[in-house]
Chains A and B, each alone.
Chain A
């Protein structure tokens, strides 16, 4: 049995420690060791994006990250995108607009879309298609996904505006709150 390494991380805001082999990918550890099966394995080779998680805020294909490399990192998986009992606008738009069929690609799209919209809340259709090209979907034909991401961006921007006008806090601070 190969030697195991102790790794301490934060996953979806909770401190999380695990033991893993050096050759295990972060995806494997999430799914098999930690039973967090939201992140999906599509290709296991960096082509499909189904395994996307945020590593210190950056979208990565977790099948290409060695779990030992996550020492000290903050990881956000699809399980951590919703806010307690309330779905994230991206998730809500995917649901309302039926932007999924089999759903295997969906967690990856949602996490990548969050990374994209956090950088640019109003991307054009072309920008969305281009930036999400690392996420593959074999079912939907993409159109509904693109529309859901675009609408989610609008909703996020509106919520940020709403939050800043209905409270006494400064708009910048409110936006920051929304983003965290």
Chain B
């Protein structure tokens, strides 16, 4: 295998890594790497921080391993290579009445990355996490090729949400979910303040529910936003527009506080007081940001952070406190999401817990780091946790309390990869594999 030295980043572009990358084009070449020169696998690097980085070491890109290996139109079971993007699965199968059971907010996430982060979607309250719909994983551990299923309790739970530390995922079988077609009926409603928002989320019975929150609104408007509810359907709409790209790094002023405040106010009032229902192609509902390629460049060269936490249901007031802190800071970008999660999770290190999750983007400047540190502290005090797919700044301090199954995961990871060949920058930064 030829290796190529390159410098690469996660989606937030704050951390970068320089090291050798391989990009096998066949599963047999991936297996040879796992056997002879193991290194962590990475997908489309849609993780914001350093989960997909291995500075000074090697990593294996899965982008060319993106084939559908089998599909059963009766049962909806589909086997795919690890590098297949979830958006591609939706594009291929939604017209035939099937969708990945769980889709994160970007269609670029790969099957391997979605498993390794046990990602959640807008239907988490009903469908649970991605790993709960994975029926089999082909896992490469050194010389061994294992087929694991949920029956392999510990190894399965350590692999799903396992940050790639139990081996390289070569392929996986997914149980797709029935859908009515490749359209989305979307109902948008205003939530006038925090309490109204929480009430709307609690009442929502839609299959897909997500809230956009105005992270700049203060005072009586604190926590205002728009609740979006979606159901799939069939029919005809214009094809999704071709994606555009951001050709250069934007200047910092693009996301200055007044610009964001104005943008958010407009975005909020775009939805009439009485709410509205529209029909869109599914991509536009699930992956609204994918329409603009490389939108992360809007944050300029210095990059950005996403803070995401989840807190238990009874800790909504603590989350409101965090929201107030964010709004007061004037540091937030327009991208901010509030959602109610169900209890579903499939791995030891899976992020979801029953409660409310908040995700907010911050340009990497000024006091953003200090603010995020405060938010993490508040999350910990509220009995919640932060998300490894987003984190770039945290320290090992509270991880074991946020992730109580950490020792169980560590045991499996060190059995699978005793030499630590699969460690990534995130794993080292948070000392995840250093048993206490």
Q: Do A and B bind each other?
A: no
B residues with CB within 8 A of A = none
